[in-house]
Structure 1
Amino acid sequence: MKLSGVLDKAIALHDLTVEEGIFLLEQDQSSAIEAIRQAAEQMRRSLCGETVTYVVNRNLNFTNICEQHCHFCAFRRDAGDDGAFWLDNAQLLEKATDAVHRGATEICMQGGLNLEAKINGRSLDYYLDLVRSLKKAFPQLHIHAFSPQEIEFIAREDQLSFADVILALKNVGVGSLPGTAAEVLDDQIRRQICPEKLNTSTWLKIVGLAHALGMMTTSTMLCGHIETIEQQVKHLEEVRSLQKIAVKKNYSAKISEFILLPFVGQDAPVVLRKKVGRDQPDLNKTLHLTAVSRLFLGRWITNHQPSWVKLGLAGATEALRWGCNDLGGTLMEEHITTMAGAQGGTCLTVEQLQKAIANLGRPYAERTTLYKKLDKPVQDLPLLIS
């Protein structure tokens, strides 16, 4: 297998095989990795142009009380633990008000799997109430909320179908589902790092069903821990296959973006931290995987975003030279990765995002959650609530 031939195939927008994807990740010479980077950039320019986009958004993590014990998660708590929290609707509305004042067009809402989060004995009613409360106050906000794991949790607790849950959430105003809880879509790895979580086939089923029901999603991969490059490429193949189905069936909804989420181990549970033996992400390996992800996913998923929370703004900005076309969101507050010991921060201003992009000599544009470019960047306003 020749590197130039594989790269030419990818640039021509022909799908790479799993074996070719593995071959690209096996390259360890600096000249080969640079050739992969350049090919990823050529594909990015062809599919997305030079403009780097970003979204003005706010995370709302409504609770960190969770029934599960994932080996990478420093966020979850049991009820009554130090640091456990469960925000009520008034607190969430206060944070949303701040976000709107600062120009947010999106609220990203996820939380722990809290067995007590019910209204009239139903989990679904609790989640519907969260969304209704936000949409009543701010109907213009895009609600990007509830991972496939949360969909599975609600359905399991209330003995509902996944379709029932997705449609109910869609009907009250959820605009898209985060493609988190994917971790690595390989059950051998999942049994080791998140044994209580939904399995690969269930994650794929829920995301595919969301597309069939008209609900857009994103996609992610938790990388840089104990997974192999073969498992990384298998994950990319699963995500690409899912997108192909949505496109070929002409669904109105599909995957809007792909995000690599490198493992942060500094304050993560010791069981996985010891196996990884590294507190912060390996930037070079993450960038290599970033470029290969762009080449492997090809024309099927055109928007690629790094995580500035995990890599830091400098690392995420560098990823814009490895095939990424989007720098993510302002977030305004971030708990999940920060509690694991990430050093990227919890909030960036619009000005910081714009400056980072401009320093690369590339234009920037604010976008919506679903990648519609807005005519005018939103002015960054003073922080009202920490």
Structure 2
Amino acid sequence: MATATVDAILDRVCEGYDLSPAEGVTLLKQTDSNIISGIRDTADKLRQQQAGNTVTYVINRNINFTNICEQHCSFCAFRRDEGEVGAYWLDWAQIREKTTDAVRRGATEICMQGGLNPEAKIDGKALNYYIKLVETIKQEFPQLHLHAFSPQEIQFIARLDNISYIEVITALKNAGVGSIPGTAAEVLNDAVRKVLCPEKIDANTWLEIIETAHKLGLPTTSTMLSGHIETPEQQIEHLEQLRLLQQKAIANNYPTKITEFILLPFVGKEAPKPLRRRVGRDQPVLKDALLLTAVARIYLGNYIINHQPSWVKLGLAGATEALKWGCNDIGGTLMEEHITTMAGAIGGTCMEVEDFQKAITTSCQRPYQQRDTLYRVF
């Protein structure tokens, strides 16, 4: 593709036009460093126009309440069978202890997700267990925002209890869930999903549950697991699905919508061997993640304003570099992180606010500001 053609594409998006899928693929397939620099600069310019110059972050804690899971995703080093070495299931006291510690350390958010444990029921109902998870936190700490339970977990509850997604989401919202993480998206292409996560919900179900949450007044995030077996065309298909979903929420005036996009590059060091061998490397390729970060900003930024890298997967240096490629947010402190770390990530499990601030100042000389889950700044 001639430089002039890429320049024409970038000129159009700077005027406010949306990338077409074909144009998105064109940008992702560039290999010339000068052209890629132009894509980076365009993403950075759009970031400034759409989200401003301030880099935001949230003080939060991850609570992965169990790693016992009925599914066997090909990329996952976190899951265990019940009784297997390393399997765990937090009790109510442990969840309260972790939450109390998070509040003491200034957290405004608890992000809570876990494995799909078919024994996680109260009075024979999965929904009762998940409501108790929420109430264990919210009754003692009503001020905390609870960002909890992926679309996969919502489908799991609905399937076990033979109820609708609407019933599950409504009950969780009434109990105190404030937003839903848009994880389990992986890549929204069912051919890819058959390799990565054949037991997981399909792409349309993920989209349906996210849209249902928006209709019911629960905001969500959005993610993509990248850098494994997917093609540039499939990456753009994923971004297109997210853009259409957000456009629908806006057009239909749903009470909530997607708040952010997070790119999650694949970490394979401890992943199951078949996928690890197929991918052929243990850690993300930073240059590939950065180009996709930039194209995601260009593709989605008119509709999903906030873009965030994963410091757990890229390391803090990689994540702060992503601030020059279209990201306006550095993510959360997490305090503990198990899923990616058990896959062999080198980014760490906890980030101090001071480390965020120093890295932002050093890497890009932009101001920083604490935010809450819904991007309201303090």
Task: State how far apart, in whole Å, the 2-side matches of 1:102 and 1:254 are.
Answer: 29
Aligned AA for 1:130? Answer: L
Task: State how far apart, in whole Å, the 1-side matches of 2:191 and 2:14 are.
Answer: 32
2:256 pairs with 1:258: no
Root-mean-square deviation (CA), in Å? Answer: 0.6
2:114 corresponds to which residue?
Answer: 111
Gaps of 5+ in 2: none
Spell out, residue by residue over 1:62-119, the C-alpha distance to the aligned partner (whole angstroms, 9 max, x if none): 0000000000000000000111000011100000000000000000000000000000
Query: Which of the residues 299, 306, 324 maps onto 2:302?
Result: 299
How big is the shift at 1:197?
0.2
Task: State how far apart, in whole Å, the 2-side matches of 1:196 and 1:309 are.
Answer: 26
Task: State how far apart, in whole Å, the 1-side matches of 2:290 and 2:220 are.
Answer: 24
Spell out, residue by residue over 1:268-313, the C-alpha distance to the aligned partner (whole angstroms, 9 max, x if none): 0011100000000000000000000000112100100000000000
Is the 2:259–2:374 Cα contact (8 Å) retained in structure 1?
A: yes
1:233 corresponds to which residue?
Answer: 236
2:149 pairs with 1:149: no
2:339 pairs with 1:366: no
1:383 corresponds to which residue?
Answer: none
1:289 corresponds to which residue?
Answer: 292
What is the aligned length?
A: 374
Task: State how far apart, in whole Å, the 1-side matches of 2:203 and 2:356 are.
Answer: 34
Spell out, residue by residue over 1:95-146, the C-alpha distance to the aligned partner (whole angstroms, 9 max, x if none): 0000000000000000000000000000000000010110001000000000
Aligned AA for 2:286? Answer: L
Aligned AA for 1:302? Answer: I
Task: State how far apart, in whole Å, the 2-side matches of 1:236 and 1:214 are.
Answer: 23
2:348 pairs with 1:345: yes
Q: Tell me, what secondary structure is at the counterpart of 1:137?
A: coil
Task: State how far apart, in whole Å, the 1-side matches of 2:205 and 2:13 are.
Answer: 30
Query: Which of the residues 77, 87, 91 maps onto 2:80?
Result: 77
How big is the shift at 1:14?
1.3
Is the 2:276–2:282 Cα contact (8 Å) retained in structure 1?
A: yes
Is the 1:10–1:298 Cα contact (8 Å) retained in structure 2?
A: no
Is the 2:47–2:301 Cα contact (8 Å) retained in structure 1?
A: no
Is the 1:71–1:271 Cα contact (8 Å) retained in structure 2?
A: yes
Task: State how far apart, in whole Å, the 2-side matches of 1:358 and 1:294 are.
Answer: 22
Q: Tell me, what secondary structure is at the counterpart of 1:371?
A: coil
2:16 corresponds to which residue?
Answer: 13
Aligned AA for 2:375? Answer: Y
Aligned AA for 2:370? Answer: E
Query: Which of the residues 40, 45, 48 maps onto 1:42?
Result: 45
Gaps of 5+ in 1: 375-386
Is the 1:54–1:329 Cα contact (8 Å) retained in structure 2?
A: yes
1:132 corresponds to which residue?
Answer: 135
Task: State how far apart, in whole Å, the 1-side matches of 2:325 and 2:206 are.
Answer: 28
Is the 1:64–1:111 Cα contact (8 Å) retained in structure 2?
A: yes
Task: State how far apart, in whole Å, the 1-side matches of 2:87 and 2:351 are.
Answer: 25
Task: State how far apart, in whole Å, the 2-side matches of 1:104 and 1:21 are.
Answer: 37
Task: State how far apart, in whole Å, the 2-side matches of 1:122 and 1:149 are.
Answer: 17
Is the 1:15–1:298 Cα contact (8 Å) retained in structure 2?
A: no
How big is the shift at 1:13?
2.1
Q: Tell me, what secondary structure is at the counterpart of 2:106?
A: coil
2:326 corresponds to which residue?
Answer: 323
Q: Tell me, what secondary structure is at the counterpart of 2:18?
A: coil
The alignment's TM-score, normalised by the length of structure 1, stands at: 0.96
How big is the shift at 1:15?
1.1
The alignment's TM-score, normalised by the length of structure 2, stands at: 0.98
How big is the shift at 1:362?
0.5
How big is the shift at 1:218?
0.1
Task: State how far apart, in whole Å, the 2-side matches of 1:104 and 1:192 are.
Answer: 37
How big is the shift at 1:9?
1.6
Task: State how far apart, in whole Å, the 2-side matches of 1:87 and 1:338 are.
Answer: 18
Spell out, residue by residue over 1:225-249, the C-alpha distance to the aligned partner (whole angstroms, 9 max, x if none): 0000000000000000000000111
2:197 pairs with 1:194: yes
Task: State how far apart, in whole Å, the 2-side matches of 1:328 and 1:93 are.
Answer: 24
Over the matched positions of the two proteins, sequence identity in percent amounts to 64
Task: State how far apart, in whole Å, the 1-side matches of 2:152 and 2:12 are.
Answer: 36
Superposition pairs of residues 166-205 of structure 1, within 5 angstroms: 166-205=169-208
Is the 1:259–1:306 Cα contact (8 Å) retained in structure 2?
A: yes
Is the 1:236–1:297 Cα contact (8 Å) retained in structure 2?
A: yes
Is the 2:320–2:330 Cα contact (8 Å) retained in structure 1?
A: yes
Task: State how far apart, in whole Å, the 2-side matches of 1:298 and 1:207 are.
Answer: 19
Is the 2:158–2:168 Cα contact (8 Å) retained in structure 1?
A: yes
Q: Tell me, what secondary structure is at the counterpart of 2:327?
A: coil
Q: Tell me, what secondary structure is at the counterpart of 2:82?
A: coil
Spell out, residue by residue over 1:186-238, the C-alpha distance to the aligned partner (whole angstroms, 9 max, x if none): 00000011000000000000000100110100000000000000000000000
Over 4 Å off, 4+ runs? none
Is the 1:44–1:324 Cα contact (8 Å) retained in structure 2?
A: yes
